[in-house]
Structure formats: structure tokens, C-alpha cells
Amino acid sequence: MVSNCIEKTHGSQAITLQVKLLKRTYVFPWSQFLFADGDADEIRIAFSTHDVVISGGTLDTLLTDIAAQRVISLKEPGRAEYFTSFSDPQITRIFIKKSE
């Protein structure tokens, strides 16, 4: 576990990625993963049907775990969870859009 909003496996690949928004939850199979890109402030995880866009801080350090499919879940934080240390990856917003 990196932060209270990011959960990872301990070395093995995850089967799915669960994305918990404030009002909705999505589950994406890692078998549909296409690519991920981004920088410290924003990353995009592309699946065959949807793109998951994550904003926050120090997010570029997550790209290796995403590429290895070790991330189990991502949670959009409530407002009170925004103000934590930024030494580890931190999520401030998650947006999901259907791929075109």
C-alpha cells in the first residue's frame, strides 16, 4: 500500500484494477490494458474501452507498477484526504472517459 488511495500487490500481477470514485466504482481487467503515460501531476491508464485519468502529485513513480500490473485499486479521495504528505504518490482526482 502506497497511500490510503492506492493499493498494490506485493510482487505478483493483479487480475483487475478497481477504481473507486466518490459515487461510482469501476473494475477493469488488466487483460484489456493497452498503455499508460504521464508525468508527476497526471497519468493516463488506457484500457480497450476506457481511459482512466489520474491527477495528483508524484504520480510518475506509479508508472512502473502500472506497467507491471501490480496496482489493485485506486480511490478518489474525499476533500479531507487531499492534505497529506506528497513524498509518496497522491491522488487528488480521477476521471474516467469512454475510449473513442
The residue extents of the domains of the chain are 6-98
Q: pLDDT class for 2, splitting at 50, 70, 90?
A: very low
Q: How far apart are CA 89 and CA 40, in angstroms?
A: 9
Residues 6+ apart with CB under 8 A from 63: 36, 37, 38, 43
Q: What pLDDT is stored for residue 1 in this prediction? A: 36
Residue of 27 and 2 predicted with greater confidence: 27
What does pTM read for this prediction? 0.88
Long-range contacts of 40-46 (CB under 8 A, 24+ apart): 45/17, 46/99
Q: Which of 78, 99, 87, 3 is closest to 40 using CA atoms?
A: 87
Tens-place pLDDT, residues 50-97: 999 999 999 999 999 999 999 999 999 986 555 555 568 889 999 999
